[in-house]
């Protein structure tokens, strides 16, 4: 979208308004390269790499949070089943054995 807008004659500041705020680092890199007269490819690629690292860290934090949030529901679902299939039969067997049955 940005490349097309730039190709059609829009300046960098206007072209980057067509995408969301998540693209701000790439926008700032492109505009800095344009102001200095440098080729934007290297700076934009560095900004993209930084954006990937940030997104990766955000996703990793969300995954860790999901693991913590799943402990309680899984415990509430599996604990009764474990008690019913393991603990209760052992207690019944020990009770019968202790009572001479």
- What does each of the 101 residues of the chain score in pLDDT, given as a tens digit? 887 887 888 887 788 888 888 888 888 888 888 888 888 888 889 988 999 999 999 999 999 999 899 999 988 999 999 999 999 999 999 999 999 86
Query: Residue written as tokens 């102001």?
Result: 35
Query: Which pLDDT score is estimated for 89?
Result: 95
Q: Which residues contact 19 (CB under 8 A, 6 or more apart)?
A: 1, 2, 27
Query: Which pLDDT score is estimated for 30?
Result: 84
């Amino acid at each position: 979208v940005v490349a097309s807008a730039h190709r059609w004659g829009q300046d960098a500041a206007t072209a980057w308004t067509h995408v969301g705020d998540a693209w701000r680092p790439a926008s700032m890199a492109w505009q800095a390269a344009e102001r200095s007269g440098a080729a934007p490819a290297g700076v934009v690629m560095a900004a993209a790499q930084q954006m990937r690292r940030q997104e990766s860290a955000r996703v990793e934090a969300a995954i860790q949070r999901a693991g913590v949030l799943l402990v309680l529901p899984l415990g509430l679902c599996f604990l009764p089943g474990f008690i019913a299939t393991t603990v209760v039969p052992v207690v019944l067997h020990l009770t019968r054995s202790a009572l001479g049955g």
